[in-house]
Structure 1
Amino acid sequence: MPWEAATPPRPLSNPVGLTPVDRSHRAVLSNLGQLYRHDLSEAYGHLPNDDGTFNDRPLDRFLAGVDPQYRAWLITAAGRTAGFVMTAPAEGGMSITSFFVVRALRRTGVGRAAALHVISLFPARWRIGFQRYDPGVEAFWSTVATQVSGTTWEIYDGPTAETRPPDTFITFTTSG
């Protein structure tokens, strides 16, 4: 059939950039946060509120200038909004607390480029949590960890939470 293709059409994915989030980006970050929460709703069993939105974590902490230890960036691909990444301090190092790439750009290299870029900004011990229910996410973070630290990364399961699947963590150290 003429509308069937071997692979779905993909938007342009290069160049990949990071734009530090400030208060002017609050609405964009909030909107992308809804897509992120929707992605996680299956694993966490979360339903939207009566108005159709998901509960939004407090974003103000991640807006530039509010708390310099908590940072957020919009991910761009070919000049278009493609997702976000949030970082925070964690156990003597850094953590990627949230990472999201829109579905149309997954498996195009956008996420890997964005992750490598933000990790390069802060030479540190990194701790990144994810859920193993999605087998692709473990492969993604393992590839990123290998690229920045060779074979010196570790992966382990965190404690089981009552209300959601347990987090799995990958840790590695980068140098400047």
Structure 2
Amino acid sequence: MVRLSPVSKEQKQVLYNLYQLYQYDFSPYTGNDLGNSGAYELHLEHFWEDARWNPFLIYFEGKIVGFLVVLFENYDVDPDPVHVIYDFMVLRKFRRYGFGREAAIQAFNLYKANWKVTQMSANEPAIHFWREVIKEYTGDRFTEEFREDLNKYVQSFSTKDSASSS
């Protein structure tokens, strides 16, 4: 069984290392390049300085298989914030075993909230993954729109009014 574990400040180097792999995986979509040090330039301190950010490591049988970050999008201005899966990665070695699906469902079950999940339009594997997971999780009770201004697909749904399906 997959387990989500909040990332403590003491574990920030672990998350930093995983973000290097994440940036590499997504460089075909983002066009990001390595910095002069041979690493992607990352600034993650806000994860531990701002309560809106909630990073989690994804474990399976004691091994780290990925990470996800939940953002309380408008937490500081709205008493009913939208929660966003901000970043999500399962290491390539562990993909297609259901770990990502299980981690996403656990994240959705953590908070009774309105949710949004976005994908870059060029990232077809992510679009397919999230559509399938959200469709199954919500019983096909979600909306999807394409935001031209962001060049992203956005799925929206709520876990506030009904029991989760998994």
TM-score if structure 1 supplies the norm length?
A: 0.82
Query: Greater relative contact order (Cα 8 A, min sep 6): structure 1 or 2?
Result: 1
How many residues are aligned here? 155
- Residue equivalent to 2:125: 136
- Residue equivalent to 1:51: 37
- Residue equivalent to 1:42: 28
Instruction: Give, in whole Å, the separation in 1 of the partners of 2:26 and 2:125.
Output: 14
Q: Are the equivalent residues in 2 in contact too, given 1:72–1:85 (CA < 8 A)?
A: yes
Identity rate of aligned residues, in percent? 28
Instruction: Give, in whole Å, the separation in 2 of the partners of 1:135 and 1:43.
Output: 10
Q: Are the equivalent residues in 2 in contact too, given 1:84–1:101 (CA < 8 A)?
A: yes
Instruction: Provide structure 1 residue ranges, at least 5 long, that are not aligned to the other structure.
Output: 1-14
Q: Give CA deviations for 1:30-59 in whole Å, capped at 9, x if unaligned.
A: 000000011111111121112211121x31
Instruction: Give, in whole Å, the separation in 1 of the partners of 2:32 and 2:14.
Output: 22
Superposed CA RMSD in Å reads 1.5
Instruction: Give, in whole Å, the separation in 2 of the partners of 1:89 and 1:159.
Output: 23
Q: Does 1:120 align with 2:120?
A: no
Displacement of 1:25 in angstroms is: 0.8
Instruction: Give, in whole Å, the separation in 2 of the partners of 1:99 and 1:132.
Output: 16
Instruction: Provide structure 2 residue ranges, at least 5 long, that are not aligned to the other structure.
Output: 75-80
Larger gyration radius, structure 1 or structure 2: 1
Q: Which amino acid aligns with 1:95?
A: V
Displacement of 1:134 in angstroms is: 2.7
Question: Runs ≥4 in structure 1, deviation > 6 angstroms?
Answer: none
TM-score if structure 2 supplies the norm length?
A: 0.86
- Residue equivalent to 1:174: 159
